[in-house]
Amino acid sequence: MKHKIQNYKVYLIFTSFVFLTYVCYWNAFFNAAIKSTKSVKNKIGGNTETDLKLTFETLGESLPEHENSITATIQKNWKTCNSPVSKFVYARTHKTGSSTTFTLLQAFITKHGLTKFQSAFYPRPNTGGYPGRFKCKFMLRKGASIVIHHSRFDANEMKSCFHPETRYFTTIREPWSIFLSAYNFYPEKRVNDCRGMPKAYIKQGKIMDTAEYLSKCVDLLNSSISFYFRFRNFQSHDLGIDPMLNDANEIQNQIMALDQNLDLVMLLEYYDESLILLKDLLCMDWNSLFRVGQKNSGHYVRRQFPNEKERPAFEQLYNIDIPLYNHFNRTFWKRVDLYGRDKMARDLETLRKQRKRRSLWEQQRIPPGLQMDAKFEEELQNYMYENSGKCFYPGWD
């Protein structure tokens, strides 16, 4: 018996030693990994105040040196200004922080007396026939030179009705995060407007996890389903690309066309840096950037990546949004380099120190009374319906 007790004590001592060794090893390993990761932190002024991921910061720094063509294009299209710009189109994508950007822009417009140049929404919160591609004839306030409401980007159409000096910009977001945002924002039950589609149609009142939901989306979503694009290349749709496109070469051509026609593509993951570039593009004053914006989002658990069950369907559904984001993530940092990293760091410090200040100019709504010509009313409605914009729940008559 005494011999067994001694053996048991030896066993306890040995296992304790092994456990402590294991803990010390992994503690040292993770500390080293964290230090290594922090060493690649972006060089432009420290941590941003959004939910950044270190993978994005690494992407921002490890740009291929041979991409001289990207730099040359940015330099060629770089626009300067000496006074507040009164001709611009914000290609307002959904679930990309656009409500905040809209508020900042509205404050800027109001402060500088530009409201008279601004297009009105119709029907709210859209303009130009969304979800169809933008049509000049469906824009309220003919001759407007500013658009900041939701519209579907169409470079050729917009250039036909806006001044040649008009500046075009948008906001995009990492595709997995935009899926999570849309999934948790749109209701899964039928409601008395368009917000329930297509989620209510996909779920049909059933309980399912995100992996099953994504799989159902692959099987069921197409242009015959109202607002199908909310879960199929949502950003690409809003920027005028066909969400059902599968040809890799044509996808790349469409992305490069956007690159040529957009003066700035902001990244939600680097929103502060984006605001600095927007300030430069529009000659905005600092006070407009300090405006506390709206936030049109819900509370949910954010995950950086899809799991193994979710990934195949997700990559199929966002086959355009993924390369689109990757491309503009590269060009964004090229633009920052041209702006100047040191200058960006100083401007970020100014912005963040005064972030709590509110704009002296309150956002104002466009005065009521604008009406659409009767002959276009029915045509607009039919155009929206033809572009998956009908508030219709299949089988739920």
Contact assessment for residue 318 and residue 175, using Cβ atoms and an 8 Å cutoff: yes
Contact assessment for residue 148 and residue 118, using Cβ atoms and an 8 Å cutoff: yes
For residue 196, being part of any structural domain is answered with yes
- Residue 30 pLDDT: 36
Please state the rounded mean pLDDT for residues 330-334. 94
For residue 374, being part of any structural domain is answered with yes
Confidence band, pLDDT 50/70/90 cuts, at residue 87: very high
CATH assignment of the domain containing 292: 3.40.50
For residue 179, being part of any structural domain is answered with yes
Q: What is the pLDDT of residues 117-153, one digit of tens each?
A: 898 887 778 899 999 999 999 987 888 999 999 999 9
Q: Is 125 exposed, middle or buried (0-12, 13-18, 19+ CB in 10 A)?
A: middle
For residue 370, being part of any structural domain is answered with yes
For residue 53, being part of any structural domain is answered with no
Q: What is the pLDDT of residues 17-54, one digit of tens each?
A: 555 554 454 444 334 333 333 322 343 433 333 333 33
Q: Nearest CA to 15 among 3, 23, 27? A: 23
Please state the rounded mean pLDDT for residues 230-244. 97
- Give the rounded percent of residues in the chain with a pLDDT score beyond 90: 49
For residue 76, being part of any structural domain is answered with no
For residue 32, being part of any structural domain is answered with no
DSSP 8-state symbol, 167:
E
Please state the rounded mean pLDDT for residues 363-389. 67
Confidence band, pLDDT 50/70/90 cuts, at residue 195: confident
- Residue 49 pLDDT: 34
Strand ranges (E), 74-124 = 88-91
Q: Nearest CA to 256 among 331, 342, 338? A: 331
Q: What is the pLDDT of residues 207-221, one digit of tens each?
A: 999 999 999 999 999
- Residue 158 pLDDT: 96
Of all helices (H) and strands (E), which one includes residue 325?
helix 321-339
Residue 364 pLDDT exceeds 50 = no
For residue 192, being part of any structural domain is answered with yes
136, two tokens: 């000049």
* Amino acid letter for position 152: R
- Residue 7 pLDDT: 56
Domains: count for the chain: 1
- Look-up: residue for tokens 């900042």? 104
Which residues form the domain of 148? Answer: 88-386
User: Which are the contacts of 315, defined by CB distance < 8 A and separation ≥ 6?
Assistant: 322
Q: Nearest CA to 388 among 275, 273, 262, 243? A: 243
- Residue 51 pLDDT: 34
